[in-house]
Amino acid sequence: MKNRLLAILGVMLCCYSLNAQNEQWTVKPGEDVDTTLPADVKFHYPKFTLGNVFFRDGSVSGALLDYDMLSGKMQFIAPKGDTLELANEATIKYIVINNDTFFYDKVYMQLVAGNTTAKLSKKEKLRVLDIKKAGGYGGVSSTSAIATVNTMRVNGQATSLTMQQEITFTKETSYYIGDAFNHFLPANKKNIIKLFGKKQNAIEQYLKDNKVEFNKEEDLKALISFLEG
């Protein structure tokens, strides 16, 4: 009986884990994205948090900041209370909010682990999982017309869906490998060798000896530690 209860508990925990990793949020036709999606889903932090933006010219600017996972942009509260996006992102060296560090290299990404040689970062974003077109009598049907989502304003401003669309979002995490100069590329074998070409033979041997899944954080942390050697 005890073993049976443990087995049932194990299945329940497994199912919970799968559900937690595959969360979905749906915006119904005509609903406003900003009001329908909870703040803790749209943003990295539950509320705008004091942080510092460090620029490449050595200057530093403090503001209330938050990362918008819907638009993939870093936003701040302006002195007049407006919510705006950071501009001229190429001038940003890095951003610190609480104990978190964010870099910008074509996309915003959060530092996960790093050393003097290599860095691991992750980009979190809300991705459109499905679009359903509203039919007659209140029904909906799936459509492959993903391009229609471009008509939505998802840059943090008040955003309403176009009529007759139901859109389902899911959270997606992708990993990036960076060098000592904070130049990042998506984590895969080709890009790692591109960044650390002088260690190509050692990297290929490491990947041969170790099963590295480039979407698993622990595998990538171990790889980052190896690159420092």
| Alpha carbons 205 and 106: distance in angstroms, whole number | 30
Q: Which two tokens stand for residue 152?
A: 């939505």
| Alpha carbons 164 and 137: distance in angstroms, whole number | 12
Q: Into how many domains does the chain fold? A: 1
More confident residue, 22 or 156: 22
Domain assignment of residue 43, yes or no: yes
Domain assignment of residue 101, yes or no: yes
DSSP SS3 for 183: coil
User: Whole-prediction pTM value?
Assistant: 0.77
DSSP SS3 for 30: coil
Going by DSSP bridges, is the β-strand pair 119-134/165-178 parallel, antiparallel, or unpaired?
antiparallel
- What is the pLDDT at residue 227? 96
- When pLDDT is averaged across residues 204-222 and rounded to a whole number, the result is 97
- What is the pLDDT at residue 198? 94
Strands (E), 45-160: 49-55, 60-68, 73-77, 83-85, 92-97, 100-104, 108-114, 119-134, 140-143
Domain assignment of residue 40, yes or no: yes
pLDDT per residue as tens digits for the range 6-20:
444 343 334 333 333
Residue ranges making up the domain that contains 175: 24-228
CB–CB of 177/192 below 8 Å? yes
Domain assignment of residue 5, yes or no: no
- When pLDDT is averaged across residues 130-148 and rounded to a whole number, the result is 54
Residue with tokens 């190509």: 200
| Alpha carbons 36 and 28: distance in angstroms, whole number | 9
Domain assignment of residue 2, yes or no: no
- When pLDDT is averaged across residues 59-84 and rounded to a whole number, the result is 95
Domain assignment of residue 19, yes or no: no
- What is the pLDDT at residue 77? 96
| Alpha carbons 180 and 155: distance in angstroms, whole number | 31
Domain assignment of residue 171, yes or no: yes
pLDDT per residue as tens digits for the range 23-45:
899 888 878 777 888 888 999 99
- What is the pLDDT at residue 134? 64
CB–CB of 120/112 below 8 Å? yes
Domain assignment of residue 216, yes or no: yes
